[in-house]
Amino acid sequence: MAFTTPAGAAAGPPLCDNHACAHCGAPATLTCAACKDAPAFEDKIETKWYCNADCQKADWPGHKSICKKLNARKRLSRAAEIAQSLWYIFREETNDYSIVGISFKNGVYYLQEADGGIVDRWNKGYRYPFPNQLMPDESMKRAILTHMLCTDALGYMHTTIAGLLEGLYAEISEIRFDVMSECRSRRLKSVNIHGQADEKEYSHHILQVKLKSGEIYVMDLTGAQYGFDDALVPWAEYVWKMRALVDVNTFGYLRKVIHEPLGKRDLEDLLRRYYVEMDRGFEAALAEALILAGGLSLSKLVTLPEPAFREKRSQILMHVQARLRLAAELMDKITVKRLAATHNINLLACFK
Ligand SMILES: [Zn+2]
Ligand SMILES: [Zn+2]
Residues 104 and 219 in one domain: yes
Tell me how far apart the alpha carbons of residues 329 and 94 are, in angstroms, rounded to a whole number: 9
- CA-based radius of gyration for the chain: 23
If asked whether residues 79 and 67 sit together in one domain, one would say no
Q: Is there a single domain that holds both residue 270 and residue 213? A: yes
- One domain for residues 66 and 154: no
Residue 265 CA to residue 32 CA, distance in Å, equals 57
Residues 69 and 86 placed together within one structural domain of the fold: no
Residue 66 has pLDDT above 80, yes or no: yes
Q: Please tell me the distance between residue 1's alpha carbon and the centre of ligand 2 in angstroms.
A: 7
pLDDT given for residue 335 in this prediction: 66
- pLDDT surpasses 90 at 67: yes
Average pLDDT of the chain is: 86
Q: Which is nearest to 21 in space by CA: 48, 58, 39, 40?
A: 48
* Calpha distance 38→279 (Å, rounded): 31
Residues 88 and 207 in one domain: yes
In terms of domains, do 22 and 80 share one?
no
Dist. CA 300–CA 74, nearest whole Å: 13
Residues in the chain: 352
Q: pLDDT at position 222, please?
A: 97
Distance from chain centroid for Cα 347: 34
* pLDDT tens digits, 184-203: 889 999 898 888 998 888 89
Binning pLDDT at 50, 70 and 90, where does residue 7 land?
A: very low
Nearest ligand, CA of residue 67?
Answer: 2
CA 54 – ligand 2 centroid, Å? 14
Say whether 247 sits in a helix, a strand or coil.
Answer: strand
Longest dimension (CA), the chain: 79
User: How far, in Å, is the centroid of ligand 2 from the Cα of 64?
Assistant: 7
Q: How far is the CA of 18 from the centre of ligand 1 (A)?
A: 14
Spatial distance between the Cα atoms of 24 and 252, rounded to a whole number of angstroms = 49
Task: List own/partner pairs for 10-19 with CB under 8 A and 24 or more apart.
Answer: 19/49
| Spacing, Cα 25 to ligand 2 middle (Å) | 17
Tens digits of residue pLDDT in 309-328 = 999 999 999 999 999 998 88
For residue 3, report the distance from its CA to the centre of ligand 1, in Å: 13
Ranking 231-235, 268-272, 292-296 by mean pLDDT, the lowest is 268-272
Task: Give 127-166 pLDDT, tens digit per residue.
Answer: 788 999 999 999 999 999 999 999 999 999 999 999 999 9
Alpha-carbon distance of 243 to 180, in angstroms, equals 7
pLDDT per residue as tens digits for the range 84-121 = 999 999 999 988 888 889 999 998 999 998 865 555 66
Give mean pLDDT, residues 333-344: 69
- Ligand number with the minimum distance to the CA of 33: 2
Identify the band that residue 330 occupies on the pLDDT scale cut at 50, 70 and 90: confident
Q: 114 C-alpha to center of ligand 1: Å?
A: 66
- Domain co-membership, 168 together with 33: no
256 C-alpha to ligand 2 centroid (Å): 39
What does pTM read for this prediction? 0.89
- Nearest CA to 204 out of 150, 155, 161, 247 is that of 150
Same domain, 18 and 84: no
d(CA 49, CA 54): 12
The total number of structural domains in the chain stands at: 2
Provide the pLDDT for residue 10.
Answer: 43
Q: What is the pLDDT of residue 127?
A: 78
Count of other CB atoms within 10 angstroms of residue 267: 17
Position 8 confidence tier, pLDDT thresholds 50, 70, 90: very low
pLDDT at position 268 over 80: no
Pairing of strands 216-219, 203-211: antiparallel
The 3-state DSSP composition of the chain as helix, strand, coil percent (nearest 5) reads 45, 20, 35
| Single residue among 23, 49, 73 that ends a domain in this structure | 73
Distance of CA 43 from the midpoint of ligand 1 (Å): 26
* Non-local CB neighbours of 277 within 8 Å, separated by 6+ positions: 331, 335, 339
Tell me what pLDDT residue 85 has. 98
16 CA from centroid of ligand 1 (Å): 16
Report how far ligand 2's centroid is from the alpha carbon of 59 (Å). Answer: 10
**For the purposes of burial, counting CB atoms within 10 Å of the CB of 189, is it exposed (0-12), middle (13-18) or buried (19 or more)?**
middle
Q: How far apart are CA 189 and CA 148, in angstroms?
A: 10
> Which one of the ligands is nearest to 25 CA?
1
In this structure, the answer to whether residues 112 and 231 fall within a common structural domain is: yes
Q: Is 228 helix (H, G, I), strand (E, B) or coil?
A: coil
Q: How far is the CA of 32 from the centre of ligand 1 (A)?
A: 13
Residue 13 pLDDT: 44
Total Cβ atoms within 10 A of residue 210: 15
Last residue of a domain, one of 26, 55, 73: 73
For residue 104, count other CB atoms closer than 10 A to its CB: 10
- Same domain for 294 and 148: yes
pLDDT at site 14: 45
Question: Which of these ranges, 11-20, 135-144, 227-236, has the smallest mean pLDDT?
Answer: 11-20
Asked whether the predicted pLDDT for residue 15 surpasses 80, the reply is no
Which DSSP string do the residues of 126-182 spell out, in sequence order? S-----GGG-SSHHHHHHHHHTT-HHHHHHHTHHHHHHHTTTTEEEEEEEEEEEPGG
Distance 70 CA to ligand 2 centre (A): 7
The three-class DSSP label of residue 299 is helix
The verdict on 118 and 241 lying in the same domain is yes
- Relative to the alpha carbon of 23, which ligand is closest? 1
**Segments forming the whole domain that contains residue 339:** 74-350
Tell me, in angstroms, the distance from the centre of ligand 2 to residue 237's CA: 25
Q: In this structure, are strands 3-4 and 243-250 parallel, antiparallel, or unpaired?
A: unpaired
- CA–centroid distance, residue 83 to ligand 2 (Å): 25
pLDDT digits (tens, 9 = 90+) for 49-62: 999 999 999 999 99
- Select from 73, 105, 132 the last residue of a domain: 73
Among 40-44, 226-230, 282-286, which stretch is predicted with the lowest mean pLDDT?
40-44
Nearest ligand, CA 72 = 2
When pLDDT is cut at 50, 70 and 90, the band that residue 342 belongs to is confident
